[in-house]
Amino acid sequence: MFENLKHIGPGAIVASATIGAGETVLAVRVGAWGGYDLLWLILLAAVTKSFLTLYLLGRYAVMSGETVADRLVNFPGPRGWVLWTVLVLEALVAPLVFVVIAVPCGQLMSQVLAAAGVTIPYKWLALGFVSLAIGVGMVQRYGTLEKSQMIVCSILLVGTVSATVLVGPNLVEIIKGILGFGGVPPYPDWLPPEISSRSQLLEMASVFGYAGSIPMNYVVYSNWVLIKGWTISRSSRSRAELSRGLGPLRWDVGFNAILVLVVTGAFMIAGAAILRPLHRIPDGFDLLNEQTHIFAQISPLMVPLYYVTILTALWGTLNALPEIYVRGAHSFLCQLLSRDLDYGKFMKIFAVTMLGLTWLFIWTETTPIFMIDLVALFSTNIGVGIVCVAALWLDHQLPPERRASLWVWWATVVSAG
């Protein structure tokens, strides 16, 4: 078993990039108003997106030896329409993704410094945080990114599991919440109007969307699989050979799904165990004032653990995004334009553009919940849904003996629906 852990790599990047503002804000908020009853939503997201969709996309790369963009350019219909659709959706929300992560970091650091007697406006800290992340993302190589994200995932796993155990959650209610598929609790009457006036469907769609990742993250996974060299020789035909060849991919995807489930579920459980009885709920990007109660109720010594866990989660996402967006967009455009593009120049253009737009949104204080909903709707729900359908089509482009088993294929069909 421990020998197989060395195969974990690309999945750690996907998981770290997945666990960001949505998990640290929305999951806690839903736990605060819904208790444990919506844990099934996190399980559903982890199975459908973090496991099934990612597995099929990675599996295609392993079996074919090519990235998904190489084949998706010929998806039925006008040439390249799927690639163009994902590219446009991601371009529309990319700067907002950076903002919804950078602003909580800025606010958290500003309030921590204020407690120490140092006053720095959160905007400047947010701008510095996102600038550093994009700057590091421009120069780091894939191997460095993978190693750093493994460290991030380790901190997240230890921090969130420790906190969840210490808050003393109701284990019976956790099991009921995980198994209670389809159950939607009503809003409690103590909720503030700005939240109680929102549609529960919208609130759940946002949580489901963020309990996964952006579509480009899933698509780029196939590029990382090829970088790792996890391909199976075309001469391999027996079921045993193919199964052995898929071993690294299964461990990697399994790790990703489990980490997303455990960490996101831990944040929701913490909201249910601590904030709900207090009738407190995080609003907007308020990561510190409300969610600190999760740890302060246990011991003041636990508060630093909270800070480290949150900042690690958000840094991991920001640090991975330049690689995800640039490698994905570069791969797409090389296919769409039928020409080789300079990756280094592409990264520089992306970095400058994202910095300019991110700075603009942070400085003008665009409404946080608006940005979270926009990203959830167009990227983590519609975009990932398109990618899920594309994964099913890609599997059927493989020779019959190399296609996924029927249960995996039909489970993904249900997921896409």
Q: Could you list the mean pLDDT of each consecutive 10-residue stretch along the chain, which spans 417 residues?
A: 68 82 73 91 88 91 92 92 87 81 83 84 90 88 87 82 79 92 88 82 76 82 92 76 85 90 88 85 60 62 74 84 91 91 89 89 70 58 79 90 83 69
What would the two tokens of residue 160 be?
């969130």
Indicate the helix (H) or strand (E) that contains 372: helix 368-375
Where does residue 405 rank: exposed (0-12), middle (13-18), buried (19+ CB within 10 A)? exposed
78-86, Cβ contacts within 8 angstroms, sequence gap of 24 or more: 80/335, 80/336, 82/386, 82/390, 83/332, 83/335, 83/336, 84/336, 85/386, 86/215, 86/216, 86/219, 86/332, 86/383, 86/386, 86/387
Compute the distance between CA of residue 299 and CA of residue 293 in angstroms, rounded to an integer: 10
Q: How far apart are CA 374 and CA 96, in angstroms?
A: 8
Distance of CA 410 to the CA centre of its chain: 24
| 221 neighbors 10 (Cβ within 8 angstroms) | yes
Rounded CA gap, 305 and 310, in Å?
9
Q: Which residues of 384-399 are buried (b: 16+ CB within 10 A; e: fewer)?
A: bbbbbbbbbbbbeeee
- Cα(266)–Cα(164) distance, integer angstroms: 6
**CA pair distance 325, 304, nearest whole angstrom:** 32
Per-residue confidence (pLDDT) for residue 309, from 0 to 100: 77
pLDDT at 305: 72
Instruction: Give the count of alpha carbons within 13 A of 118, CB side only.
Output: 8
Cβ atoms of 209 and 378 within 8 Å: the answer is: no
Tokens encoding 200: 């529960």
Put residue 157 in one of left, alpha, beta given phi > 0 → left and psi -120 to 50 → alpha.
alpha
CA distances from 337 to 190, 223, 394 (A): 55, 18, 21
Token readout for 315 is: 């840094």
Please spell the DSSP secondary structure of 70-85, one letter per residue: HHHTT-SSSTTHHHHH
Residue 107 pLDDT: 82
Query: Other C-beta atoms within 10 Å of 199: how many?
Result: 8
DSSP state of 52: I
3-state secondary structure (DSSP) of residue 398? coil
pTM, full prediction: 0.85
Contact, 62 vs 230, CB < 8 A?
yes
* 269 close to 27: Cβ distance less than 8 angstroms: no
> Which residues touch 47 (CB under 8 Å, ≥6 apart)?
257, 415
- In this prediction, residue 291 carries a pLDDT of 59
Within 13 Å and on the Cβ side, how many CA atoms surround 20? 29
